Amino acid sequence: MTMGAPSADSDSVHSAEPTTRAMRKRADRVRLIEHTAARLFAEYGYEATNFEAIGAALDMRGSSLYYYFPSKEELFLRCMEHAAAEVFPRLRVIAESVGAPLDRLRAMFREEAVITLVEYPEFIPLFLKVQVPVDSLEQRRDELRREQTAIFRRVVDELVTAPQAIPADRLHVTLNLALGGLALIGEWFKPGSDLGVEEFADQVSQTLIRMFVADGG
């Protein structure tokens, strides 16, 4: 078989490959920057963390980060929004699944525990304890926290008709207590202990769900 001139379709396929690889490489670099920045924001605070510090942790020049993010404010915002964009859909899948509301709520607590301890430990402090002197970031953070709470609340509201659940007027307060406890488990869970993350998440979720049962059992 003789080799003819490459077709237009062949050209388009081969020319697309480097672009796809470049996009994938850029996405991986952005993710690494976000994880590193989130860790430094949590450790040193918003004001004490700058592009130079983040770049040094990544073995990059701080000025190189402007190629990915126009400002520290935008980087902080992207850290929060990307974490929420990956976590919230997972919680919604459980919330909207088939099953008793107590079972779904327990599964959501377990998922949140695993996310907090394993997948996004660097990002949790951004939503809780990092002081941010930027009104627009504070506002967006409050919106994201309310959105997360609303996902849980839709399931909790189904407990109003569940005979074994606590009285309706205590449900939302109890949910806030449960979510507050979940947010802090990264502060006192000891990695490498006899109890692994999966077993720990099981215990946490089972303990929290008892708060919603009238007899506590």
Question: Quick one: what percent of the chain has pLDDT higher than 70?
Answer: 89
Which of 75, 89, 99, 212 is CA-nearest to residue 147? Answer: 89
Residue 95, pLDDT score: 98
Q: What pTM was estimated for this model as a whole?
A: 0.83
β partners of residue 165: 213
Between CA 17 and CA 24, with CA 19 as vertex, the angle to 5 degrees is 95
Q: Is the dihedral of CA 142, 88, 20, 24 positive or negative?
A: positive
Residue 91, pLDDT score: 97
Q: Which residues contact 83 (CB under 8 A, 6 or more apart)?
A: 38, 120, 123, 126
Give SS3 for 120.
Answer: coil
Question: Quick one: what percent of the chain has pLDDT higher than 90?
Answer: 71
